[in-house]
């Protein structure tokens, strides 16, 4: 149901018959499946996006599974892998690999993990770049004390190093800037200016040599959050795929904006 409503919403947007289109019908159906996202309280855009992508994936995966039941798979094909994919995973899903090295016996192991959104720490309180956030996310870390690993080769808990790399780069990569952080036992919003490139974002320093995907990305959308922990307002900047012009979406106000306006201190989600 929600996938159908989402399809109608996108169709209405691209028809261009209205100055703006309300997502009321989609949200009404969506909140029945996810009551936490009701109209009466504030919600996080990143959490909402994860639920939307998961919901659409399940809907499209279901359709693909039904079609697969009618057609016999070719000899040697994995039916399970076909059932586990959808247009959502094809566009948004990437894979990380965590290289974990025991500091006692030096044994190396890999832990793969799929992702649709990368949540990046913001390593400054004033100004930093998206590359600074990526460097912070992908820098090696040492696991000690309560975070020790259980080493298969040593047979006990040991200190270890861990380093993440991208082994599968998605066609569309989404970055979540972690603006809501704990400081001195209090949660607060970071108002750091994060400078992000519009084009030629090179992820090759963080991608495994075994990955043959494209490593350069261009910005196509931004979700902004204005406000604080208890009250806020979301807007979006989106780049038209044909005209390449940028537009601001602020409730019922949809306006064309210059490229210079797309760099905003309120950026919360970045789509490349």
pLDDT in tens, 79-126: 334 457 999 999 999 999 999 999 999 999 999 999 999 999 999 989
Distance CA 214, CA 78 (A): 26
Question: CA–CA separation, 104 vs 57, rounded Å?
Answer: 42
Per-residue model confidence as pLDDT tens digits over 190-224: 999 999 999 999 999 999 987 776 779 999 999 99
pLDDT band at 78; cut points 50, 70, 90: very low
Q: What residues have CB less than 8 Å from 251, skipping those under 6 apart?
A: none
Q: How far apart are CA 163 and CA 72, in angstroms?
A: 42
Is 80 exceeded by the pLDDT of residue 41?
Answer: no
pLDDT, mean of residues 40-46: 86
**What percent of the chain has a predicted confidence (pLDDT) above 90?**
76
Instruction: Give the Cα separation of 99 and 109 in Å (integer).
Output: 6
At 261 the three-state DSSP class reads helix
Q: Which two tokens stand for residue 92?
A: 């948004």
């Amino acid at each position: 149901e929600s996938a159908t409503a989402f399809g109608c919403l996108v169709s209405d947007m691209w028809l261009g018959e209205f100055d703006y289109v309300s997502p009321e019908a989609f949200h009404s159906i969506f909140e029945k499946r996810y009551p936490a996202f009701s109209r009466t309280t504030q919600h996080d855009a990143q959490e909402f996006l994860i639920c939307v992508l998961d919901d659409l994936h399940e809907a499209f995966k279901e359709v693909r599974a039904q079609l697969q039941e009618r057609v016999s798979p070719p000899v040697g094909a994995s039916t399970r892998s076909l059932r586990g994919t959808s247009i959502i995973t094809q566009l948004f899903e990437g894979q990380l690999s965590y290289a974990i090295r025991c500091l006692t016996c030096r044994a190396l192991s890999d832990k793969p993990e799929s992702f649709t959104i990368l949540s990046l720490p913001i390593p400054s309180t004033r100004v930093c770049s998206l590359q600074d956030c990526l460097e912070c996310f992908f820098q090696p870390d040492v696991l000690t004390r309560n975070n020790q690993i259980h080493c298969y080769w040593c047979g006990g808990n040991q200190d270890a190093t861990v380093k993440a790399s991208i082994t599968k780069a998605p066609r569309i990569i989404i970055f979540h800037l972690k603006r809501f952080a704990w400081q001195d036992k209090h949660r607060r919003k970071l108002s750091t200016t994060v400078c992000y490139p519009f084009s030629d974002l090179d992820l090759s320093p963080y991608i495994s040599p075994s990955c043959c995907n494209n490593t350069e990305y261009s910005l196509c959308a931004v979700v902004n959050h204005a406000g604080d922990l208890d009250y806020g307002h979301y807007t979006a900047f989106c780049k038209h795929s044909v005209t390449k012009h940028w537009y601001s979406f602020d409730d019922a106000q949809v306006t064309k904006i210059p490229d210079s306006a797309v760099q905003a201190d309120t950026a919360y989600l970045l789509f490349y």
